[in-house]
Amino acid sequence: MKQWYYALALTAALGACQQKNEDKQQADSTAVAVAPPIDLSNFDTTVSPCEDFFQYVNGGWIKKNPIPETESRWGSFNEVYERNQKILKEIAEKAAEANAPKGSNEQLVGDFYASGMDSLTIEKAAPEWVQAELQAIEAATGKEELLQQWIEQKKNGSRAVLSLFVMPDEKNSEQYAIYIYQGGLGMPDRDYYLKEDEDKQKIREAYKAYLTKLFRLSGSDETAAKQAAETVFGIEKALAEASKSRVELRDPIANYNKMSVEEAEALAKPFSIKNALTLAGAAQAKEVIVGQPNFLKAVARLWQQTPVEDLKLYLKAHALNNGAPYWHHEFVQAHFEFYNKTLRGQKQNKERWKRVLATVDDGVGEALGQLYVQKAFPPEAKAKVMEMIDNLQYAYEQHIKDLDWMSEKTKEEALKKLAAFKRKIGYPDKWKDYSGLEIVRNNYWQNVKNAHRFEFERQVKRLGQPVDKTEWFMTPPTVNAYYNPPMNEIVFPAGILQPPFFDPNADDAVNYGGMGAVIGHELSHGFDDQGRQYDAEGNLRDWWMPEDAERFKERAQALSAQFSSYEVLPGVKVNGDLTLGENIADLGGLAIAYTALQKALEGKERPLIDGFTPEQRFFISWAQVWRTNAREEYLKQQVLVDPHSPARFRVNGPLSNLPEFHEAFGCKEGDKMYRKPEERVKIW
């Protein structure tokens, strides 16, 4: 599915089985000791701040915080996550014991959690669950019935064939539209299928072994399972060859192709888009937005040329993969071995209760979120963040007005967009209505499927309706933040409003270097290489004077080149084009937050704290947000699929461009963190 919002950290959010993360604490029985805003014991003073600022601020912390066996990386996001997990566990366990009224938040959370923790029932029932999924696909007698099974699996959460979803129309942000996007792969990216380096070849063999294991666990003998795995891999490789790269997917104009349903039908024939939409409950759709027409053509060719029995194997593989994290222990272990151990280097699976909590958050996150904010979100935090956003927007306004490379006409449009930014803090003003969602106490897999189907059908029902501007795309207990282009909004869940990001008891410098830079980061996403293409109303529209757009691209390309020079591991470098939007947001966010800090400090005393000036503490605060230990496997995957640069370069990269940083720490020519004025990139 298209990434509709630009998050602070893609790998840091609480929910679904592979990608989500963290949250919030308050003084109660689950509270833990909170470290000082800046802990000097985390420093490595053997390193000069002008040589490697990330190591200088975080070297001590890295040394005393090895990666736990259950993690592929360990950092500040994980620390917050662990604090928050204790609160969520207490909430879920209490809800599970409450015998709450059907449909209440407590019942949805409690029964979902209890069903996932009931391992004895899962172990006993899972073989029947598995066979039920396979038998439905096997019963199909032709490709029309297989299309129906594909939609059924799609409703259950499967990623087979392609993505089909409803979101605001990017060129008419007041209305919902149905999107058809590339997908259908079992591995995270097309490059895992196509690159011929030794590392990818090993991963491909591990993936085939995983597919073989899935078929073996579902009843096939070894020979049949291996053949099935080869068949599935061949289909996925063909889809990979037709897929755009992650960099190509970052072009919103090229990936917006609105057409009538009849035109899409002709493009995809004999894979019937009309029938698929009818089966999905979207028969009323008159138009669709096809992200990648050539991919849809490739699906059509595959659907036509591939024998029915091979397509069945493909759909079965995706059904098995979709259910594996929730079934009996052999499926769970097989899924872990490939996706977490092979791809990310994780040594042990997380405890069951953490995995179940993540699933609950993914399925009924706003029910869990309501219980969470009642317990753990102080209202005063919202007011403080509102004040910070006011200051950051004012600073951004000044920066735009002072730009020497942008014409007055484009500035006028940029300021209009900035003024139109909507903000959401903590939790939704209007909570999601889960009426009609059936959650039972004794069938975990059915609950997972019901939650997926509820969300799929909720989306489809919105077609033809005005866009709900109150909707959130992260749950309240998430340690992350995002900018959403079609709604032109910045969103900060309750989970991120805590140390080290935000501390109401810390000095301004720490909060502006942490939460202030996070706010600036999300504001800057509205003006990065993708976000800048959306106007104040959230519509994909070119509001730039041509010469200004060219000047922007020149600066953006220089930043891309800087980051592409950073070596993460021997022979492995950052992809500056893939990470460009996040790098622009980091650089712009820091520059804006620094200006906002100076405004906040006006008329105040500026004492040294821990021996550091406010300016120094500002930059230290940013660096400690990104303290991270990561396994090699994790870093290799991050560089390939994640639009965020590795943590070290999110610190050192933008700071090397800021003269304010050089001045604060006395960095000079010859120091590694120093860039000559003519080599620095300044966009916002």
Please confirm, yes or no, whether 199 is among the known catalytic residues: no
Q: Which two tokens stand for residue 603?
A: 């008329």
pLDDT at 142: 95
Q: Which of 23, 529, 586, 615 is catalytic?
A: 586
CA distance 448 to 50: 50
Angle at 656 between CA 653 and CA 657, to 5 degrees: 100
Tell me the two tokens of residue 472. 């959130």
- Our CA angle for 42, 572, 241, nearest 5°, is 130
Predicted pLDDT of residue 6:
80
- CB burial of 241-256 (b: ≥16 within 10 Å; e: otherwise) equals ebbbebeebbebeebb
Query: Is the pTM of the predicted complex or chain greater than 0.75?
Result: yes
SS3 315: helix
Q: 426 with 494: CB under 8 angstroms? A: yes
Active site residue 522: yes
The percent of residues above 90 in pLDDT, for the chain, comes to 92
Would you give the end-to-end CA distance of the chain in angstroms?
Answer: 30
pLDDT at 32: 40
Across the chain, which distance is largest between two alpha carbons, in Å?
78
User: Which segments within 3-155 are labelled E, that is strand?
Assistant: 6-7, 73-75
Query: pLDDT tens digits for 192-226?
Result: 999 999 999 999 999 999 999 999 999 999 999 99
Q: What is the pLDDT of residues 511-561, one digit of tens each?
A: 999 999 999 999 999 999 999 999 999 999 999 999 999 999 999 999 999
Looking at every residue in the chain, the average pLDDT score rounds to 94
pLDDT at 23 over 90: no
Tell me the two tokens of residue 504.
């109401």
118 to each of 111, 253, 364, how far by Cα in Å?
Answer: 10, 48, 18
The total of other beta-carbon atoms located within 10 Å of residue 513's CB is 31
Position 43 scores a pLDDT of 98
Is residue 76 within 8 A of residue 495, CB to CB? The reply is no
State how far the Cα of 70 lies from the Cα of 243, in Å rounded to an integer.
33
User: Helix H segments across 243-288?
Assistant: 261-268, 273-280
Instruction: Give the pLDDT confidence of 125-168 residue by residue, as tens digits.
Output: 999 999 999 999 999 999 999 999 999 999 999 999 999 999 99
Distance of alpha carbon 220 from alpha carbon 659, whole angstroms: 64
Convert the pLDDT of each residue in 620-643 to its tens digit. Answer: 999 999 999 999 999 999 999 999
On whether the CB atoms of residues 648 and 635 are closer than 8 A, the answer is no
587, 583, 79, 72: CA torsion to nearest 10? -160
pLDDT for res 13: 36
Token pair for residue 648? 């070290």
Write the Ramachandran bin of 191: left for phi over 0, alpha for psi from -120 to 50, otherwise beta. alpha
Separation of alpha carbons 513 and 501, rounded Å: 8
Q: Under a CB-based contact definition with an 8 Å cutoff, are residues 173 and 539 in contact? A: yes
* pLDDT above 80 (res 11): no
- Residue 4 has a pLDDT of 59
Name the residue type at position 227: Q
Q: Is the pLDDT of residue 426 over 60?
A: yes
Tokens of 26: 């308050």
**Residue 341 scores a pLDDT above 90:** yes
Active-site choice (79, 522, 582, 642): 522
Residues contacting residue 238 through CB under 8 Å, at least 6 positions apart: 298, 302
d(CA 606, CA 295): 58
